[in-house]
Structure 1
Amino acid sequence: MSTLTHDPAARTTSAGNPQNGRGSRQAGPRLSGLAWLVWRQHRAAFWTIIAGTVLGVIGMIVLRGQMTDYLSILEPTQKKPGSMPPDFEKYGDLMTDIGGYLSYFPILAGVLLGAPFLAGDLETGTAKLVTSQSVSRLRWLTMKLAMPAALVALSTGVLGAVFHWWWSPVKGLVTQAEWSSGSIFDVTGLMPVAYALLTFTLGVAVGLLLRRTLVSMVVTLGIVVAIGFVWGELRSSLGHVMTVSTDQGVGPGARLPELPDLAIQQGQGTYFLTGSGDRLDWTTCLDKIDDDKAHTACLESKNVVGRSMDYLPFEQMATMQWLGAGIMLAVTAAVVAFIVVWGRKRLL
């Protein structure tokens, strides 16, 4: 029988007591077999994730309590966007800073956890030792992927939920970061779970292919950074852009389009709207901007009747997050399928 599929600490006598005679063990679920081996092998990383999650949750709970205590002593007129006291800025700064720190979790999951996870075993020969026993390659790959993936999903899910609980009451008051920024959008809802699972599985796949820990970590870092850059450029495209416009002229005192609360302006800013419904770039008649009368006359000659502005409403945030998370989870599933197929055939 393989010694890798049995926990020696779990052996008992026929009477049901431990062999060392120190009394019965506490009843309850315990890891055994391959699950025990994977946990034992990577327990330092697993405990680090658990400890970091607990500390992060405690910290956000304390900061939220301090923030709500501060808000409770303010007058109702002060609890509006643009009218918050300067002292409130420190709470907004702390929130966006912590959101920024949480947005680094996918990088850590890919580089420090995913890349070495298989690469280390392949480099040291542990994978060959394990699969030469009574453990099949598929079973070993499944456990190596499932246990850390479950822990990553649980950790990011909990941190994201607590951060959203902290941010929700003041989302219209904290102006340091827009809801579409990475420090808010990527760390709330399902996004942190999907993002971290994607980078983790990509790191595992890179380690499986390169079989060298340090090289795999460097390559994974490059891939994750590239994904972050592309994602930052494409994030806003997940939403449906809305338009608000006016048709009361463009002269001095003309009313500008007003965006809904928490809406994010898109495009190049304010466009000029013609009577036929066409939109002109903001640089139209720019050469006459220093003379109000000449500028107004130039715009009227082009049949400009008002202004137009594109925006993303806050109500689309959840839909955008689900769409983005769905795309990432689909890519994650494809990467997992590749790892399983490649690992079963060319693991050693």
Structure 2
Amino acid sequence: MSNLTNTSTTGSNRSANSDGSAVFPAATRGPRLSGMNWLIWRQHRAGFWTLLVITAISVAWLIQQRTDLTNQLTTHGWPDSSPDKWLPAVHPQRFQLVSYGFGFIPIVLGVFLGAPLLAGDLETGTAKLVASQSVTPSRWLATKLGISALVVIACTTALSIAFGRWWGPVKYEPTVLGWSEGTAFDNTGPVPVALALFTVVSGAAIGMLLRRTLISMVVTFAFAVVVQVVWHFQRLNLGHVVTITTHKGIGPTTSPQLPEAALEIDTSLISGSGQTYGWGTCAHEASQKLCTQKFDLVGWSVDYLPISQMSSMQWFGSSIVFILTAAVAVFIFIRGRKRVV
């Protein structure tokens, strides 16, 4: 009776060719995670899904802000009219608040995603269970870091593109966001991706060394803050300073005209022999005429960074950070192969 039922059920799911042979339908199964990939995703799914959902909401909000901004600017004659006509329609405070918030993303990801990534398994003993199976430590580490890196890259890239498009129409106005400041420079292009990925991988390395989740999070927080401070002081060193000089005297109307949105680094007085003096050299002289004759001053020398270098500066700095990230990842694999538990 069971054979008959089984045969009938099987027959209902197949058809026959003209020669009488049975044809079974192809299995319809979409792409799904399996094996170690499924295990790692399930283990950290709460953090991954939280990050993805927050990113999706943030990107949707930024797109709406971009649409509202362009509509307001267009009604005030942008981009054909002068900035003094359409600039009042911009809300710099909103840009600044959002950019400040985005600046904490690398720190938050390093602390709450990177630090517990390996420390949690080492502290609870899950790593010992993995080591006792057929999975090699290298594969376990590669899957852990690989899936986490993909999620971080996807989220930070989406946020970077969305924020860049929102800021794009007013990027030449330093009163909104200065392009050389962290509020704009660190939240667009490859920079947020590089910084976030570096703090996450470094947090994982810290967790592997300390083997305790809480202390690893504390140390990672301090490390991420130091990274942000170092990056802040080295940001302008990524560019090539351009110098422009004039030889039309040192009057206030003879200073050189810089390109739009250029960042002025230093201003000096220049003599006929090419020697430079501080712009306040004549402040304590009896008269400007006597000062000009005394130092043989003929014009101005101004050092600046043009906004056209922003993209190259971002990629140059991000490349350095990516190399450091790769070095930390190599350290994790070398250390993990020797002592994963």
After TM superposition, is the score higher than 0.5? yes
Verify: 1:35 aligned to 2:37, yes or no: yes
Question: Equivalences for 1:128-277 in 2 at 5 Å?
Answer: 128-173=128-173, 175-251=175-251, 253-267=252-266, 270-277=267-274
1:3 is matched with which residue?
Answer: none
Cα displacement (A) at 1:192: 1.4
**Per-residue CA shift, 1:74-120, capped at 9, x if unaligned?**
135884344444342x1x32223222222221111211110111011
The residue type equivalent to 2:308 in the other structure is: E
Structure 2 counterpart SS, 1:285: helix
User: Is the Cα–Cα contact under 8 Å of residues 52 and 155 in structure 2 kept in the other structure?
Assistant: yes
The residue type equivalent to 2:67 in the other structure is: G
Larger Rg: 2
Cα displacement (A) at 1:27: 2.6
TM score, norm. by length of structure 1: 0.86
Cα displacement (A) at 1:346: 1.3
User: Is the Cα–Cα contact under 8 Å of residues 110 and 224 in structure 2 kept in the other structure?
Assistant: yes
User: Is the Cα–Cα contact under 8 Å of residues 153 and 197 in structure 2 kept in the other structure?
Assistant: yes
Percentage of identical aligned residues: 45
**Per-residue CA shift, 1:220-250, capped at 9, x if unaligned?**
1111111111111111111100012221112
Structure 1 counterpart SS, 2:299: strand
2:24 is matched with which residue?
Answer: none
The residue type equivalent to 1:259 in the other structure is: L
User: Is the Cα–Cα contact under 8 Å of residues 84 and 173 in structure 1 kept in the other structure?
Assistant: no
User: Is the Cα–Cα contact under 8 Å of residues 248 and 254 in structure 1 kept in the other structure?
Assistant: no
1:8 is matched with which residue?
Answer: none
Verify: 1:74 aligned to 2:76, yes or no: yes
Match of 1:305 among 298, 305, 309: 298
Question: Equivalences for 1:77-92 in 2 at 5 Å?
Answer: 79-88=81-90, 90=91, 92=92
| Counterpart-to-counterpart distance in 2, 1:46 and 1:212 | 21
- Which segments of 5 or more consecutive residues in structure 2 lack a partner in the other structure? 1-9, 11-26
The residue type equivalent to 2:329 in the other structure is: V
Change (3 A) 1:109 1:122: same
Cα displacement (A) at 1:276: 1.0
2:14 is matched with which residue?
Answer: none
Match of 1:336 among 329, 333, 340: 329
- Which segments of 5 or more consecutive residues in structure 1 lack a partner in the other structure? 1-14, 16-24
Cα displacement (A) at 1:300: 2.6
User: Is the Cα–Cα contact under 8 Å of residues 78 and 86 in structure 2 kept in the other structure?
Assistant: no
1:106 is matched with which residue?
Answer: 106
The residue type equivalent to 1:111 in the other structure is: V
**Per-residue CA shift, 1:40-90, capped at 9, x if unaligned?**
1111100111011101101101111111110111135884344444342x1
Question: Equivalences for 1:111-122 in 2 at 5 Å?
Answer: 111-122=111-122
CA RMSD between the two structures: 1.9
Cα displacement (A) at 1:256: 1.4
Change (3 A) 1:93 1:179: same
Question: Equivalences for 1:53-72 in 2 at 5 Å?
Answer: 53-72=55-74
